Chain A
Amino acid sequence: MATTKLGFIVQRPPYKSENPKLALTHAIASQSVEVYLNDGDIVTADIAFVGDGVLNCKKDQKAMDLYKLTSTETHVKMALLLDLNVLVCKEDLDRFGLTENDIVLNAEEFGAEMTVKVVPFAEITKMMEGVNHLLFF
């Protein structure tokens, strides 16, 4: 039985490129990776939004209305529903004049118990130090 921890660092803004959505979908795939592994082996995924990447967490996104696309907001909610650890850098939110009121914090409507954690960058650094591999998107 072994655990490999992956850290997904999202630093690009939403919709300009595919990167943030690929980060979320790959992180969410950690929930089905067991089919390739031996019994008891798992892969965990922590997600951190930093820099321009914090904009992915803006709530009330209209991607479905305007583009018929699943929003990154919905993907964040799916990550919470699947109990992934989602961190958002507080300093970068401040830089954009955003507060916790402006971003998605939970997915209660889906029954998720996990919530988004707004943390200082030092906490994100700790997470990065604690994982086996980092993937920057």
Chain B
Amino acid sequence: MGKFTIGCFSSLVGSMSLDFAVKLAGTALEKGHKVDLWVSGNATMLSLKGQRAFKDYSHLEKPLQELMQKGLTVTACEACAEARGYHKEHTIEGFKRHSMDWYLASAFDADRVLHIGGE
């Protein structure tokens, strides 16, 4: 089985890119692949806990937690999060926070890197 590194830079609300990235990560995990998901820029919004679920807005906390239990590694860019006021105490349990070199290190031994740019 292979390793996917998915980088996503689009916001949770206002774009469907993170929905796609999380769905893709789930599908890859189901097929037995290892998946690292990196969120940077506006995508660090994904790391915020306690977001209220409305039917009109993307809400991925629950599926994300299920995928993390299945082995998904999710990491947010710490600087991007801090710049937006998303501090460690606001972060979903299990969601990691690192500097940008973590993404490059994950890409180092990835079989495929899928980079989904921002808005």
> Whole-angstrom distance between the alpha carbons of A32 and B7 in the complex?
18
Contact with A along B88-113 (1 / 0, CB 8 A): 00000000000111111101111011
**Residues 2-14 of chain B, each 1 if its beta carbon lies under 8 Å from chain A, else 0:** 0000010100000
A37 lies within 8 A of chain B by Cβ: yes
- B contact face: mostly helix, strand, loop, or mixed: mixed
A43: Cβ under 8 A from any B Cβ = yes
A32 and B99 within 8 A (CB): yes
Contact between A136 and B115 (Cβ–Cβ < 8 Å)?
yes
Please report which residues of chain B, range 36-65, place their CB below 8 angstroms from some CB of chain A when the two chains form the complex. 40-42
B9: chain A residues at CB < 8 Å are: 18-19, 22, 137
Question: Contacts A19-B9, A26-B40 given: A133-B107 contact, CB under 8 Å?
Answer: yes
Flag if A18 contacts B118 (CB, 8 Å): yes
Shortest beta-carbon distance from A7 to chain B in Å: 10
**In this assembly, does B117 line the interface, its C-beta being within 8 Å of a C-beta of chain A?**
yes
Cβ 8 A contact of A133, one of B105, B113, B118: B113
Which residues, 1 to 46 on A, are CB-close (under 8 Å) to B? 2, 4, 6, 17-19, 22, 25-26, 28-30, 32-33, 35-37, 41, 43, 45
For B66, list chain A residues within 8 Å (CB). Answer: none
Known contacts A43-B107, A43-B108, A135-B113; is A25 also within 8 Å of B100 by CB? yes
Residues of B within 8 A of A4 (CB): 107-109
Residues of B that sit less than 8 Å from A by CB: 7, 9, 40-42, 79-80, 99-105, 107-110, 112-113, 115, 117-119
